[in-house]
Chains A and B, each alone.
Chain A
């Protein structure tokens, strides 16, 4: 291997498998004792399952405990799941709830230190060094993304530009003038930047950009290719969720063969989302995470709803930490079309990017001659209505092209009149699957 391999914490990231397991067991016992003492929600779970922290003798014993779900967090809103008094909490973050209340999470000083360390690890793995100028185009605020990457960059000694999200023209100006070399944003925003660069005639080679660290939403390998070509960078994926910590849970090394999961801080299981059964190594299923070192907001067997697969082989980069495949989307709304996992959110993003507005849409999945078909019906509105047929058809063609790239399956786009897509309690019904009728 000719790529330079920088490892932030060599001892932790190359620990032999057996030692990882021993460390996990020790830390899991500590975490279970902590929550059994401090968090009523977990006290109830221990009581109901008849399992006591002292009964844990192997990592597999954890299976006796029930899962923690988003519903537990909702019931315990806002601070019910915290394991330390507020005077020890130095930071609050929260995730936007699509329905109802958001999820509130807290960090102690040590938690922030761990977070910083884990982000520094994956940023180093993605090629960032103290020579870099890191352009953080995540939104600074309650969302964990920006702060996590910010701390990690500073720990590495890179120069941080906390540009924040939005204002694409200004982003490009700063990127040109300040010579940003590492870009941090969502993959869809990366494409927005690429589009704008093309429009303004900015060649990728004229920028100092070298690497892009993309996260906060699922994205495809096709999108990686597009981002790398159009921005002239090496694009890597990273993973995290605020309930667990934020970014830093896992991140790709430059070999781009899965995201190294910080197993010394998190214990990962993959389960069948329907039955809850733990699946054998290498299976695709829902990722379940248990925090092993968190103080303020420990999570036991938290159902992430993200679909992925874990690979425990030692990576060519030397890291022993398991690699997590790019997430394939969420369990809640996944569709399998021609064997490919498709998520309505991906379609939403594509439509949003094309004209900068979010039209109502509906997916019609059908099967003809044993072949799945996907039709995306889009309600026309005045932003995407053109008086000229040529432009109107071009819109459809562009949408179909972009969908095929992002989804990995072809989709037919059909424009329909406003208000023709049925709504339920004000929300459009997103998917109609006629295959099983």
Chain B
């Protein structure tokens, strides 16, 4: 259920984002989802790709600072309050969302949101016991 997400340190200067996607593109790695958190000086780029180990290797070869983080992908009903009920559920179980971002693709009528929790296992058990759909990792990387 856990998905390997790649995080990359990038300086806030023009063209760096394109260099990362360029390196991955050349190697035939597909980016499934992408989010960028940034400050005025630097940013943390987070990616879900179809082959995270290969991506890790080529990015390291290109001397990027990279790390792998476990996240999970959740199907969220695309209706008013869909996300709120999930967040409330997590709150009741004392799981904190470190960050989240949406997938461009959808599954049927549902949106896919990637979550990073402080306690992944607790989050998974809380969500599954309340019928929230967590996407298997192979589903996510092959969308």
- Residue positions of A touching B, CB distance < 8 A: 380-382, 385-390, 392-393, 414-420
Contact = CB atoms under 8 A, between A and B. Distances in A.
B20 to A, nearest CB: 11
Given A380-B65, A392-B44, A417 B10 contact: yes
Contacts of A419: 63
Contacts of B7: 385, 387
B65 A418 contact: yes
Contacts of B39: 389, 393
Contacts, number: 50
CB-CB nearest 8 A-B residue pairs = A387-B7, A387-B69, A380-B65, A389-B37, A380-B9, A385-B65, A418-B63, A415-B42
Given A382-B67, A415-B9, A417-B65, A387 B41 contact: no
Contacts of A381: 65
A388 B65 contact: no
B9 A417 contact: yes
A420 B64 CA distance: 11
Interface string B92-104: 0000001100000
B24 interface: no
> How big is the B interface, by class?
20 to 34
B41 A414 contact: yes
B64 A388 contact: no
Residue of B44, B69, B116 with highest tally of chain A CB at under 10 A: B44
Contact of A387 (B16, B63, B116): B116
Nearest to A415: B42
Given A392-B44, A415-B42, A417-B65, A385 B37 contact: no
A414 B9 CA distance: 13
B41 A415 contact: yes
Contact of A382 (B16, B46, B65): B65
A381 B66 CA distance: 8
A388 B41 contact: no
29 contacts: A380-B9, A380-B65, A382-B65, A382-B66, A382-B67, A385-B7, A385-B67, A386-B67, A387-B5, A387-B7, A387-B44, A387-B67, A387-B116, A388-B98, A388-B99, A388-B116, A389-B99, A392-B42, A392-B44, A414-B41, A415-B9, A415-B11, A415-B42, A416-B11, A417-B9, A417-B11, A417-B64, A417-B65, A420-B11
